[in-house]
Amino acid sequence: MQKRKLGNSNLEVSALGLGCMGMTFSYAPFPEKKDSIAVIRAAVERGVTFFDTAEVYGPFNNEELVGEALEPFRGQVAIATKFGFDINPDGSRGARPTNSLPEHIKQAVEGSLKRLKTDVIDLYYQHRVDPDVPIEDVAGAVKALIAEGKVKHFGMSEAAATTIRRAHAVQPVTALQSEYSLWYRTPEDEVIPTLEELGIGFVPYSPLGKGFLTGKMDENTTFDKTDIRSSIPRFTPEARIANQALVDLLGKIAAQKKATPAQIALAWLLAQKPWIVPIPGTTKLHRLEENIGAAALELSADDLKQIESAAAEIKVEGARYPEAIEKMTGR
């Protein structure tokens, strides 16, 4: 597996990471813990060195899973986790939607360190921008944690370009994690140019469009009511029929390359910038191996031009999130 550096930082990770959220959160029904541990460890054996979790996934049990799975490999891998939702120590939700008060961050990091079975967090993201706390205060709180040796790198998630600039002026931001794929390209407008200017890495989540870009679902696919996709406008049967054109495009390129649509979608992301590290999630070993295969797939300038011109003709239907969740992004 090739390595990539996240921006100007010295954080070097595998070109593809593993998003672990779906093992305990959002995509029910969930696999047994032992099976998830086996997939995480299989990823390490295949060269993956970058693993993503968050305290809110569960809450807490995703960090516990990742901590247990990676304990034997701790010196070989980088773990990213996140703070910023209002979660009480007992796992109940607090009164506010988000909470990035410095004292709350200080409390949150201790819980994450314990659950991850580590003495330092490699990359600590603010999960969502908190409109009630100046971003300078958040960056300052993480800067203090870095000085204490509890955190190595500061990250942000779904933040707007101006907010990234303000935070970066206080504590250099190593990486931004936001949704980015062939079916959600908004970061190209302002965020990616800002990251390039400031030397910040980009970690796209949902790089396979929450599974849609794999070509493994159609308008007849059903989702468990606890599966986040059951409430997402982009996953209504009507939207899936309209958005099938994007999957057909990926399938056409995949056939030319003797690859899969998922591999083309990931290879397209990797080709955009050398400091982009997608984190596809999966609970299945064969999907893990398929995704890893994308890192070795070369898309030529002509391939990229073909994808670009065809994608420009396709209008993706449906919002990527329900309105209440979308309001928490891009701030």
Q: Which residues are catalytic?
A: 57
Task: Please give the order of strands across the beta sheet that includes 78-83.
Answer: 18-19, 50-52, 78-83, 121-126, 151-157, 173-179, 201-205
Cα separations (Å) of 31 from 20, 22, 110, 131, 283? 12, 9, 28, 36, 7
By three-state DSSP, how is residue 7 classified?
coil
Closest CA to 121 of 98, 148, 101: 148
By three-state DSSP, how is residue 77 classified?
coil
* 89 preceded by a cis bond (ω within 30 of 0): no
Indicate the burial class of 32 (C-beta count within 10 angstroms; 0-12, 13-18, 19 or more): exposed
* Residue whose structure tokens are 């979608």: 265
**Distance separating alpha carbons of residues 263 and 237, to the nearest angstrom:** 24
- Give one DSSP letter per residue of 166-199, joined into a string: HHHHHS-EEEEEEE-BTTB-GGGTTHHHHHHHHT
Half-sphere exposure of residue 136: CA atoms within 13 angstroms, side-chain side: 3
One-letter identity of residue 249:
L
Indicate the burial class of 79 (C-beta count within 10 angstroms; 0-12, 13-18, 19 or more): buried
- Helix, strand counts (H, E) of the chain: 11, 11
| CB of 11 closer than 8 Å to CB of 153 | yes
| CB of 175 closer than 8 Å to CB of 7 | yes
| Assigned token pair, 223 | 């989702």
* 261 preceded by a cis bond (ω within 30 of 0): no
